[in-house]
A and B are shown apart, each in its own frame.
Chain A
Amino acid sequence: MADDAHGEAVTSLPIGGNLSELRERTRDFLTPAKLGERQEANFILAISEAANNVLDHARTPGVLVLRRYADRVVAEISDEAGTLTDPRAGMTAPEVGSRRGYGLWLMRQMCDEVEITSGPAGSTVRLVMRCD
Chain B
Amino acid sequence: MGIRLDRQTDREGARVLIPIGDLDRDAVEPLSAAVGEELAGRPARLVIRMTHVPFCDSSGIVMLLDAHADATGRGIWLALADVGEHLRGLFRLSALDRVVPIIEEPPHGR
Contact = CB atoms under 8 A, between A and B. Distances in A.
Interface of A: 17-20, 23, 38, 41, 44-45, 48-49, 52, 55, 93-94, 96-97, 99-100, 102-103, 106, 109
Interface string B68-110: 0000000000000000001000100111001100000000000
Contacts of B94: 94, 102, 106
Contacts of B95: 93-94, 96-97
Secondary structure dominating the interface of A: helix
B54 to A, nearest CB: 9
Nearest to A37: B86
Given A96-B95, A102-B61, 17 more contacts: A17-B26, A18-B26, A20-B24, A44-B55, A48-B57, A49-B58, A52-B25, A52-B57, A52-B59, A94-B94, A97-B95, A97-B98, A102-B62, A102-B94, A103-B58, A106-B93, A106-B94
B4 to A, nearest CB: 13
A40 to B, nearest CB: 10
Contact of A45 (B21, B62, B90, B98): B90
Contacts of A94: 94-95
B66 to A, nearest CB: 7
A123 to B, nearest CB: 18
A45 to B, nearest CB: 6
Contact of B62 (A19, A20, A48, A99): A99
A55 B25 CA distance: 10
Contacts of A97: 65, 95, 98-99
A20 B1 contact: yes
Contact of A41 (B21, B59, B61, B86): B86
A20 B58 contact: no
Contacts of B99: 96-97
